[in-house]
Structure formats: C-alpha cells, structure tokens
Amino acid sequence: MPENLAAEIIEPIRTTYISFVECELRGGWDVFHQDPEIFPDDKEHDIYIALGHGDSELWLVQSGGLRRAFNFKSGAEVRVGQSMVRFEQDEVEEELAVDEDKQQGK
C-alpha cells in the first residue's frame, strides 16, 4: 500500500425502524414536509429535525402495548410515516423508557 494512503475505518450506519400504533413527538422539533414532486420515492414520510434543547423526545406505543421513548441529539433526523418511524441509532442521546413488562417473551 502506498504511504500516502491511510487506512480508514468506516463505522456501519445502524438505522432503526420501529412500527407503531401511537406516536408523539415532544419538545423541540422542526418539521420538513416532503414535497411529492421533488421526492416522489419518499412522499409518505415527514422529516423531523431535533432542535437540540435537550428535550427532543419521541414517544411510541407499539402493537401489543410496548411503550418506548427516545431523546435525540441536536440535528437528528427522524422520519415518520405510514405507522413507521426511522432514525439513525447514533443520533439517539438516550432511550428514556421501555415498558419492560410488555416486551415480547415476558
């Protein structure tokens, strides 16, 4: 390998998809509504951007009653649409709550 080429470690992107029956965004968010003429392949989702006041939270209820909540870093993008939420795992500040009694297998 030539000396001027440095090895670069690329971390995998971990995208999280969660289906829900209820979804609530709390705190500081900005919303970007998709224009179907500009984004014809992604017209069914809205993008929410965390404003970074430490209070950008996503609260979900999944089928079966499992409740989960996440707090997001400033600038994080969360896509919501068609009873599905999608975000990058490294943009999560912390998972605030999981209703452990309702998890599968308990």
pLDDT in tens, 72-99: 999 999 999 989 999 999 999 999 977 7
CA-to-CA distance for 71 and 52, rounded, in angstroms? 10
pTM above 0.85, yes or no: no
pLDDT of res. 40:
61
DSSP sequence for 15-45 = EEEEE-SEEEEESSEEEEE--TTT-GGGTT-
| pLDDT value at residue 22 | 96
Q: What is the C-alpha separation between 39 and 45, in angstroms, rounded?
A: 10
Record the tokens describing residue 97, joined without a space: 């709550």
